Structure 1
Amino acid sequence: MSRARKSSEDPSLVDKITGGEPLMALEMQTLRRYHDTQKKQPAEVDRLRLEATVLLASVYEYQHQTLGGRKPQLH
């Protein structure tokens, strides 16, 4: 394969960076909303963080048990 043909088929670095701009913009908006909420409603941020932590632990336990892991003792 010739070098000229390869460069015309592969997106350039500029194209790759430009293609990621919408995702970067969304990430920045989300980060701004997070910081605004953290300033205005710190208790809500903590509640959501705790809820996400509990749900993540629940998913982990479900996957662990489903894939044949040791069942936890429930007392």
Structure 2
Amino acid sequence: MDKTEVPMPDHPVYQDATEALRQYLEAKESGAPAQEVERLRLIADAQIKAASAYQLDSMGYQPIDRQ
């Protein structure tokens, strides 16, 4: 991908993040066990961060290191 192109919304990285968020919200709303909800929240958080990092990288931005 050219560094001037932004990934389209149907890109798998966005689809994965959307699906992870959907699973988390469904579990939370359905009253799933707290441990399962937290596990899904962490997965969704990681997927969203990955999508954001991917988008920034595709536009040529350097990742921010916040350690």
TM-score by length of 1: 0.44
Structure 1 or 2: more helix by fraction: 1
TM-score (norm 2): 0.49
